[in-house]
Copies of this chain bind each other. A is one copy, B any other.
Amino acid sequence: MRHCDCLLTDMSDSDSLPVMMHERERWQLILTRLRDRGIVRVADLVGVTGASVATLRRDLAKLEDAGQLRRVHGGAESVASGQTPLTAPSFDASQTLNVDLKQAVARGAANLCQDGDSIILNAGSTTWFMAQCLRQHRMQVLTNSFPIAQELIAHSANRVVLPGGELYREAGIILSPFDEDAIQHFAASKMFMSCYSITPLGLIESDPLVARAEAKLLNRTEKLIVVVDSTKFEPQGNMVVCPLARVTTLVTDTGAPQQMVDHLRQQGVEVILIDPKEAKVLTAA
C-alpha cells in the first residue's frame, strides 16, 4: 500500500509522516478541485492523493450517490457542468456522512406526493434530495431554495413558484424581511421541511431569519410533513419554529430514538420510519 508511494517518491518516503490520506480528506480534496476546475480526472487524483485508482473510483461512486458530482468517462464533473456551485446545497462534513439516511428519508417522503398536488419544499439538504425524487411528478411546487428550483426546472415537469426576497449565496435560500409576498396567494396541500434539530419543545432552527421564513410558509398549508434523518434528534440550536403538535407527519429512519417516536405519536404525529437498508416503509402505526 504505502510501499508503493515510497517507491514512487523516494525523497518523501520518510515514514515519519503518515502519508496515507483518509477517506474524508480525499473527498474534500476531490470536491475542492471540482469546484475550482469543474472537472477532475481519476489519473490526476491518483497523483494528488496517492491512493489507487480503485479507491478513487469508489470515492467518486460514493460522491455521485451523494449528489456531489457526476461521473463521466475518465473522471467526474461538477453537477452543473462547472457552471454554478449552487446546484447542491453546501454540505459540511457531518452532512456528508448521512447521505444514505437522507436519501432514504427523501425517497420515503417523495412517496407522499401525487400528481396535481400543490406542495411547499422548504430549503434543506434532505428536501433537495427529495426534489431529485420528483422528476416524474407533475405538481406545483413552492420553494425558497434556489438549488431546488434549479433541479426542478431543469429535470422535471413540475411548475415552480418562488417567493420574493434576497438570494443568499452560501445557503442558496431566498429570504425576505417583508410580509407582503406572492406566497400569500399560494395554498399548498402539503409542506415538506427539514430543520436544524427536533426536540420535545418543537422544531428548532439556528438562524432567526430562516426560522421566520419557515414560520411564514407554515401559514400556507395545513399538513406539515417533517423530513429528518435520525441524527437530527440530537438537540441543537435555539429558535423554536413550531411545536411538535403542529406536525402532521414525520418521516425519518429507523435510527430515531424510540422515546422521541413515542412522544411524537402521543402528540398525534404520524411517524413513518424508513429502513435505510431496505429503503422501504416499515411501519406507520
A interface residues, Cβ below 8 angstroms from B: 2-12, 15, 17, 19, 21-25, 28, 38-39, 41, 44, 47-50, 72-75, 77, 81-87, 146, 149-150, 153-154, 159-167, 169, 174, 176, 178, 180-185
**Chain B residue with the shortest CB-CB distance to A73:** B23
A185→B178 contact, CB < 8 A: yes
- Which label, helix, strand, loop or mixed, suits the secondary structure of the A interface? mixed
A176→B180 contact, CB < 8 A: no
Since A83-B154, A149-B167, A160-B167 are in contact, a sample of 12 more A-B pairs with Cβ atoms closer than 8 Å, ordered by chain A residue number, is A6-B11, A11-B44, A11-B48, A28-B38, A81-B87, A85-B154, A150-B150, A160-B169, A162-B162, A162-B165, A164-B165, A164-B182
Instruction: Tell me how far the C-beta of A213 lies from the nearest C-beta in chain B, rounded to whole angstroms.
Output: 12
Q: For the complex, give the distance between the alpha carbons of A186 and B37 in Å.
A: 36
Instruction: Tell me how far the C-beta of A2 lies from the nearest C-beta in chain B, rounded to whole angstroms.
Output: 6
**Those 8 A-B pairs whose CB atoms lie nearest each other, nearest first:** A164-B182, A164-B164, A84-B154, A180-B180, A160-B167, A176-B182, A7-B47, A163-B164
A17→B2 contact, CB < 8 A: yes
A-B contact pairs, 22 of them (CB 8 A): A2-B12, A2-B17, A4-B48, A7-B9, A7-B47, A7-B50, A11-B48, A15-B44, A22-B74, A22-B75, A23-B72, A84-B154, A85-B153, A150-B150, A161-B165, A161-B167, A162-B166, A162-B167, A163-B164, A163-B182, A164-B165, A165-B182
Which residues does chain B contribute within 8 Å of A86, judged by CB atoms?
150, 153-154
Which residues does chain B contribute within 8 Å of A50, judged by CB atoms?
3-4, 7
**Partner of A150 from B6, B24, B83, B165 at Cβ < 8 Å:** B83
Q: For the complex, give the distance between the alpha carbons of A285 and B209 in Å.
A: 48
